[in-house]
Structure 1
Amino acid sequence: MRMEKLLLKPDKSLRFEVKDCSVGGHYTLKWKVLSRGAEAERRNMIRGLIVDSSKPGIRTEHSAFKGEHVVECRVVKDGVVIET
């Protein structure tokens, strides 16, 4: 998993995609999308929920303000979160 810290500008379309996964068989992807910081607090837009893919293997997001945004992906197989 690659993690980068970026302060995103507002009104950006973001596409996160899993291109390869070592987990065999049927699994689902869950995404943790975080928005935090002073601007998120001021706008009451703190996020941290676990959400489904927008399309298989893809999560599409949109930045509403300049600030810290974090997206993490988890693989779930047979009801268990698999760390990959």
Structure 2
Amino acid sequence: MRAIKKVRLLIEQEPQDQTAQIFSHLILSLVEEVDFSVKDLYLLNSADFQLAMDILQEWRLDRYYMGKAKTFDVALQALSLVKTV
């Protein structure tokens, strides 16, 4: 199971829990591209801290693939312009 899904389930189960709140802030900061206080990660137990690291790694990888897909789309558009001219 991907880390993002694990966190979603954790937040859904106990949204008021401190761990769920930390993960909620982390996810929102990634989505909105705003600052997140790293010191909040140190409030997590070891397993949840590792889950947060997994979230960051997945998020970075997903952004890479999203950028790659956009580049592929632009490349296809550029090639189709050349073929129609």
Q: Which has the higher contact order (CA 8 A, sep 6+)?
A: 1
TM-score past 0.5 threshold: no
**TM-score (ref. length: structure 2):** 0.28
Higher strand share: 1
TM, length-normalised to structure 1: 0.28
Q: Which is richer in helix?
A: 2
